[in-house]
Structures are given as structure tokens and as C-alpha cells.
Amino acid sequence: MTTAAAWLPTVVEIALTAGGALDGPDPDIAVTGFTIDSRTVARGECFVALRDQRDGHEFVADAFARGALTALVSYRPAGVRADLPLIVVDDPLTALGDLGAAARDRLTDAQVVGVTGSAGKTSAKELIAAAMARRYHVHANEKSFNNEFGVPLTLLAAPAGTEVMVVEMGERKVGDIAYLSRIARPHVGVVTNVGLAHAEFLGGAAGAARVLAELVESLPPSGLAVLDADDAYTKELRARTVASVLTAGTRSDRRPDILVSMVTVDDGLRPTLRIECDWGSGETQLALLGEHQVHNAGLAAAVALAAEVPFVDVLAGLAEARGAPWRMQLDRSASGLVVVNDAYNASPEPMAAALQALARLRVPGGARRIAVLGEMRELGAAAPEEHARVGLRAAQLGIDVLVTVGEGGRMIAAGVPQGDGPGLGMEVLAAGDADMVVGVLEGRLRPGDAVLVKASRSVGLERVAVWLLELEVTE
């Protein structure tokens, strides 16, 4: 049973909060929620007409047909009857942010945990939520609802009785995290790492550090920043916050507050890790896949332990966290293929982690490890070098077959070593786009092969993962 949101305003209250005007009758009843997708409107919800690849105003009539009570718009679209109540504002996206901030105001007893970073945000969010849920009523973003509309919608959906809000925050340009922090007003800020994601817009890793620092800068003196002890930019981040700082990391020489280490990784890529800190020491196995999750688990443990979750419950909670779709999602087909679908997005650090995971997968005799890799977008001037590093890394790890996709794939192939040396046994195949991967691999696959698919989301490699799981493979 779904618990109602803590704040369900009437249409007039929405208009007043958003600085808009009511156009049409006043139904004088509260909405049941907020949505930006007309296809999923539930009866009584407020539909917010955003402009993105499509203009949400085109779907207002459809939202009402599906049961919406009202819609937040910048004008009354043609075909929407005059007897249907609209809330007219200058900019629906800005108004949605104002509504999210108002919902946050009503969560007076909730602790808000903001999570950002160049990579690992979603996994860290899931691990934090799971560890905290052992003691508190927790609400967190769905999937990667981490941007200027996802964060307000997350706050607006917070159920009554929420004690902890875990809010993932994404960044693509300067000011993004500061804006989201003004809406969510976190007391705890977690920065997973500093890397090259969105480097084209942020100015490389140094620029990313400045943007990610917006989260820790927003914290009050009574707040807590949780940082990666292993990261080169942690010293800079620490200097930019007035909050207390806890660190987690895998290197004992960095003297982290939470020391984490990997013990083993099983045949399904599930890591067992060990945590050592002043709160206790012990081991737990994660359901999230890949040894890189050990790092995210350390950060999550720091948040939960600082919030007085008992150490034994932190270990149990970390084990219960589940990953989001298309992120190190391991499936086995009826024909015996092992498919690692990590197609949601890609940047250099997660690409290296995914290849490391593929290399760790055990395959039967005669089977191969195959990497289907495409472009890591928004890297700017660093793109050729970083893609070439991926090709070199795949060769060094002993991947058997590399299938490169599109222009980014050609840059990856350029890094595969030539002549004598490691990686010469790796077969390199090329596909022009995601749909052409089928023709490249069909007839080449064997039962027991393990296939990783990874690229930036817009490359569309999730379609390849679906095809692989449906493919009939014979000896």
C-alpha cells in the first residue's frame, strides 16, 4: 500500500506557491501527486508541462483524459476545455522547483542526505537508503531522478512520516548542484568521486570538483560531508565546507575514518567486503555487482553510522541494496549467454570498472569474454585519449573479443596495442551503430560466452542486451 505524500496541496495552494494564476474553475480539493509524464497520470494528479525534446503542453489534454485534476502550464494549449483548471506560470520548470522547496519546508523532522559525484551516485544512493532503512523511514529518488525536475518530484512524493530523504543530485554545468541544494537543503552531503563525466561542460576533473563542491558548500555548520579518502580532490572539497567531515576509502595510508576492503568476488560478481572503523568491524556481501561497489558501500556506511544506525544493521542493510536497471545488471539467457547490461551511461571510471568486472567473470572452457563498447559522451577534448585508454585496458585485462560501436568505438579501437605485447589475442570487430551489433555478433556467439554492453545512454546499447537475451545460441 502506497503512503500518501506529506504535502498534497489544493489547486489554489499550488498556484500561490508557484507564483501562478488559476485559469478555470477552482475544484477546491487537493491533488494526489505530481507527474511530468502524461502516460502515467494517476487520477487526481497535477501534470507539469515541461519543455524538453517534446513540449509537455502537447500532452495536457491527454493528461486530463487520463484523470489529471489540474496542470501546471505557461499557457492554455489548444484543445483543452475552458472548464478544466490550469495553473499558469512563467516557467513550469522553475515553478516545479518552488513546489519542491515548499514540500521540503514541510519535512521539518526529516534528515536530507544529498548525493553527488562524477560516478557511482545511483549505487551510493541505493546503498545509503538500504543502510538507513534499518532504523529510519527512508524516501529516495526513483532510478536516476536526479536533475532539476527529478529532485523536486522526489521531494513532492515524500510520504508522511519520512525521517530520512536520500536525494541524488546530477550535474552537467556550473550551478546545477547549488540549485538543487537550495531546493533540498541537505544536512548531509556525499561526494562519491571526482572524474571526467560531463568534462566537456565542466572543464575537466578540476572543473567537476568545483561543481561538486557546491554540495558541501551548501551544508550548515551542524552538517556532515562524507568524502572519498582515496580521491585526489578530497582535500579541496574538505576545505570548501563548514560542516564536519567523515571519509571512507580503501587505502589505509590515507587514514580514512571508514576503511573498506574487498575480500572476495563470487562467480556472480557479488563482492564481499570488510569494514573497519571506530563503530566496529565486520564483513558483508553486496547484491550490487562489481568490486567498485566496495567504495560506494564505505561511503554509505559512513552516512548510516554517523546517523546512529547500529553497526550490525549497517552491514545487513548494505547487503539488501539492489541496483537500478541497466547498471551492472547480470542476466543469463536460455541459450547460456551471460549478459552484463551496464548500458545506462558511461564515463572513464565506470567503463574501467565494468571491464574489470567482465574480466573477473568465470566462463566455461571454450567460452569467451566479449565487450560491446560505444562512445562515452561529453568528454570534450579528452575524448580521444580517454577512449583509447579503454581499448588498451580491455586488452590488458585479457578480454577475448572487443566489439566497437560508432565513432566512439573507433576511438576505443585506436587504443588496442599493435605488434608484440599484451592484448594481441583480442579480436576487434566494428559496428556502425547499436542495431548493427546484431549482424556483427550473430553466428559468432557460443553458449557460456559472457557479454558486457556499455556506452553512454544515447548510444542505445540496451537494445543489444535485449537481443542477446532472446538470441538462440548453439554450439
Alpha helices in 321-456 (DSSP H): 348-360, 383-396, 406-413, 437-441
Cβ neighbours of 255 (radius 10 Å): 10
**Domains of the chain by range and CATH?**
11-94 (3.40.1390.10), 107-320 (3.40.1190.10), 329-470 (3.90.190.20)
List the helix and strand counts (H, then E) for the chain: 16, 20
- Cell for 28? 477546491
The pLDDT score that the predictor gives to residue 405 is: 97
Contact 386, 196 (CB under 8 A): yes
Half-sphere exposure of residue 181: CA atoms within 13 angstroms, side-chain side = 24
Percent of the chain, pLDDT > 90? Answer: 84
- Cell for 411? 576511438
How far apart are alpha carbons 277 and 300 in whole angstroms?
A: 13
Amino acid at 221: P
Contact 199, 160 (CB under 8 A): no
Nearest Cα to Cα of residue 71 among 50, 94, 53: 50
For residue 439, what pLDDT band results from cuts at 50, 70 and 90? very high
What residues form DSSP beta bridges with 131? Answer: none
Question: Given the C-alpha cell 526513483, which residue does it identify?
Answer: 142
Overall average pLDDT of the 41-55 stretch: 94
CA 365 from centre of chain: 35
Statement: residue 203 has pLDDT above 90: no
For residue 1, what pLDDT band results from cuts at 50, 70 and 90? very low
- Cell for 358? 567482465
Nearest Cα to Cα of residue 321 among 138, 143, 123, 167: 123
The pLDDT score that the predictor gives to residue 164 is: 98
Contact 436, 461 (CB under 8 A): no
Q: Is 252 exposed, middle or buried (0-12, 13-18, 19+ CB in 10 A)?
A: exposed
How far apart are alpha carbons 115 and 186 in whole angstroms?
A: 9
Contact 152, 104 (CB under 8 A): no
pLDDT in tens, 205-258: 888 899 999 999 999 999 999 999 999 999 999 999 999 999 999 999 889 999
pLDDT in tens, 69-123: 999 999 999 999 999 999 999 999 999 999 999 999 999 999 999 999 998 999 9
Contact 153, 144 (CB under 8 A): no
pTM of the model: 0.91
DSSP 334: T
Output the CA–CA distances (angstroms, integers) from residue 129 to 164, 167, 212, 309, 416, in the order listed.
Answer: 8, 10, 21, 12, 40
DSSP 281: E
Contact 190, 208 (CB under 8 A): no
Report helix, strand or coil for 402: strand
CA angle 110, 114, 120 (to 5 degrees): 135
- Cell for 413? 579501437
- Cell for 279? 563503530
Question: 403 Cβ partners below 8 Å, 6+ apart?
Answer: 370, 371, 372, 373, 409, 429, 430, 431, 437, 440, 441
Question: Given the C-alpha cell 541494496, which residue does it identify?
Answer: 321
Question: 204 Cβ partners below 8 Å, 6+ apart?
Answer: 196, 380, 382
Overall average pLDDT of the 134-141 stretch: 96
For residue 2, what pLDDT band results from cuts at 50, 70 and 90? low
Which DSSP string corresponds to 402-471?
EEEEHHHHHHHHTTS--SSSTTTT-EEEEESSGGGHHHHHTTT--TT-EEEEE--GGG-THHHHHHHHH-
